[in-house]
């Protein structure tokens, strides 16, 4: 049994981040979330205007861990076969052969997921959940590790198909990516217009699988699991947690997948921060990302000009995180 956190794995994660940062400027928070999803084996939904290095980040990460990277541009005329693959008839032999689609990758980028119709979205969501596809009655497993990152453009809603609530729930986190600062933008322009940077592969997909296994061993105190349960419960029945009147603004709260996402995410973030145990701040840092896409606001909430983040802020203020574990307790853990 491996230790839940060895110096080698900490060093390896540092090297991975260092290599990616040689290409990608800024976006540290976003990169951290991508790493959290990768370690916790979750999927990411990313919202941000075009040109903020979303594709570049994932592609660079794939290069650094020697993974297979595929990008699919979602368009209204896409069909599920374009994604998962299809059966091809060979006239010479009279046999059918299976041609596997681009979902057979380690890192899959679904660009502008809300531009494709529901049947294509659900084909992708099946792969995310089951990690396999069915073509003509035969199941094919996608390679491991497998991470889907889907992007949405918040500006244009013309000709888009919003993701159904039940499907959005399959994403562990929804991350908002913002414009770089002026200083970062200066560096971005220098890098892009300067000589090309080639990244080194510092890890393999097998090493990544080992890191994922170690992530499962990071200690999460029962009090923190209780905190996650309370937070998620407060999105369903705010009144029980002393949030009077908040229930009128929320049609649907978050599902148990949110609670699992908070615990798994806290583990991964603790591991990235070089610890073998999770602290309350590892979880509180991720609460907005794990919950924002899972709250369905009512007409009343939207009429009041509220958004999911505002409601999450109110829930977090009412549900207090557990106290930090004492040093001797951490050692015992």
Q: Note the pLDDT tens digit of each residue in 184-219.
A: 888 888 888 888 778 888 888 888 888 899 999 999
The pLDDT of 86-112, averaged and rounded, is 85
Average pLDDT in the chain: 85
Between 87 and 258, whose confidence is greater?
258
Nearest to 62 by CA among 8, 19, 28: 19
Tell me the percentage of the chain whose pLDDT exceeds 90. 22
pLDDT of residue 330: 57
pLDDT of residue 181: 82
Confidence of residue 122 (pLDDT cuts 50, 70, 90): confident
Q: Which of 114-123, 165-174, 219-228 has the highest mean pLDDT?
A: 219-228
Confidence of residue 264 (pLDDT cuts 50, 70, 90): very high
Residue pair 69/106 in contact (Cβ under 8 Å)? The answer is yes
Residue 194 tokens, joined: 């300067």
| Residue 306 pLDDT exceeds 90 | no
DSSP 8-state symbol, 325: P
- Strands 44-47 and 147-152 turn out to be parallel
Please identify which residue in the block is written with the tokens 């990768």: 38
| Residue 10 pLDDT exceeds 50 | yes
Rounded Cα distance, 48 and 58, in Å: 15
pLDDT of residue 1: 35
Confidence of residue 57 (pLDDT cuts 50, 70, 90): confident
The pLDDT of 288-305, averaged and rounded, is 89
Confidence of residue 165 (pLDDT cuts 50, 70, 90): confident
| Residue 164 pLDDT exceeds 60 | yes
Confidence of residue 285 (pLDDT cuts 50, 70, 90): very high
pLDDT of residue 58: 82
| Residue 266 pLDDT exceeds 90 | yes
Residue 322 tokens, joined: 């557990």
pLDDT of residue 91: 82
Rounded Cα distance, 285 and 288, in Å: 7
| 139 DSSP β-pair partners | 134
pLDDT of residue 325: 66
- Which run of H or of E encompasses 71? strand 69-73
pLDDT of residue 187: 84
What one-character-per-residue DSSP string does 275-323 give? -SB--HHHHHTTHHHHHTTT-EE-HHHHHTT--HHHHHHHHHHHSPPPP
- Go through the chain and tell me how many residues it has: 333
Of 18-32, 118-132, 298-312, 319-333, least confident by mean pLDDT is 319-333
The pLDDT of 77-85, averaged and rounded, is 88
What one-character-per-residue DSSP string does 101-167 give? -TT-SSEEEEETGGGS-HHHHHHHHHHHHHSEEEETTEEEEPPSS-EEEEEE-SS--TT--PPPHHH
Coil, strand, or helix at residue 23? helix
Residue pair 112/150 in contact (Cβ under 8 Å)? The answer is no
Residues 6+ apart with CB under 8 A from 146: 105, 106, 108, 131
Confidence of residue 5 (pLDDT cuts 50, 70, 90): low
pLDDT of residue 111: 87
| Residue 160 pLDDT exceeds 80 | no
Q: What phi and psi values does residue 264 have, to the nearest 5 degrees? A: -65, -40
pLDDT of residue 92: 82
Please identify which residue in the block is written with the tokens 């990008």: 71
Is the alpha carbon torsion for 5, 8, 14, 15 positive or negative? negative
Between 137 and 2, whose confidence is greater?
137
Cα–Cα distances in angstroms (integers) from residue 275 to residues 97, 213, 232, in the given order:
48, 15, 25
Nearest to 266 by CA among 254, 280, 245, 253: 280
Confidence of residue 2 (pLDDT cuts 50, 70, 90): very low
């Amino acid at each position: 049994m491996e230790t839940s956190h060895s110096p080698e794995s900490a060093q390896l994660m540092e090297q991975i981040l260092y290599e990616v940062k040689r290409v990608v400027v800024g976006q540290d928070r976003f990169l951290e979330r991508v790493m959290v999803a990768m370690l916790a084996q979750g999927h990411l939904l990313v919202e941000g205007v075009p040109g903020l290095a979303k594709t570049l980040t994932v592609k660079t990460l794939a290069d650094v861990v020697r993974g297979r990277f595929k990008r699919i541009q979602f368009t209204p005329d896409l069909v599920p076969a374009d994604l998962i693959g299809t059966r091809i008839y060979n006239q010479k032999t009279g046999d059918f052969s299976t041609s596997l689609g681009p979902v057979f990758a380690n890192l899959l980028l679904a660009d502008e997921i809300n531009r494709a119709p529901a049947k294509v979205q659900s084909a992708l969501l099946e792969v995310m959940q089951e990690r396999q596809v069915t073509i003509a009655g035969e199941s094919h497993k996608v390679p491991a590790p497998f991470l889907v990152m889907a992007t949405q453009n918040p500006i244009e809603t013309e000709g888009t198909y919003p993701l159904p609530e039940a499907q959005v729930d399959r994403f562990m986190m929804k991350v908002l990516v913002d414009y770089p600062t002026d200083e970062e933008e200066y560096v971005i322009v220098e890098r892009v217009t300067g000589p090309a940077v080639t990244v080194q592969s510092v890890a393999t997909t097998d090493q990544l699988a080992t890191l994922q296994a170690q992530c499962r061993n990071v200690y999460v105190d029962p009090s923190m699991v209780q905190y996650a349960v309370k937070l998620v419960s407060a999105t369903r029945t705010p009144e029980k947690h002393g949030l009077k009147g908040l229930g009128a603004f929320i049609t649907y709260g978050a599902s148990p997948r949110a609670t699992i996402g908070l615990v798994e995410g806290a583990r991964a973030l603790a591991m990235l921060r070089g610890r073998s145990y999770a602290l309350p701040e590892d979880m509180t840092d991720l609460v907005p990302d794990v919950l924002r896409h899972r709250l369905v606001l009512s007409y009343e909430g939207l009429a009041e000009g509220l958004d999911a983040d505002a409601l999450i802020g109110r829930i977090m203020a009412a549900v207090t995180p557990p106290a930090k574990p004492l040093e001797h307790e951490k050692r015992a853990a």
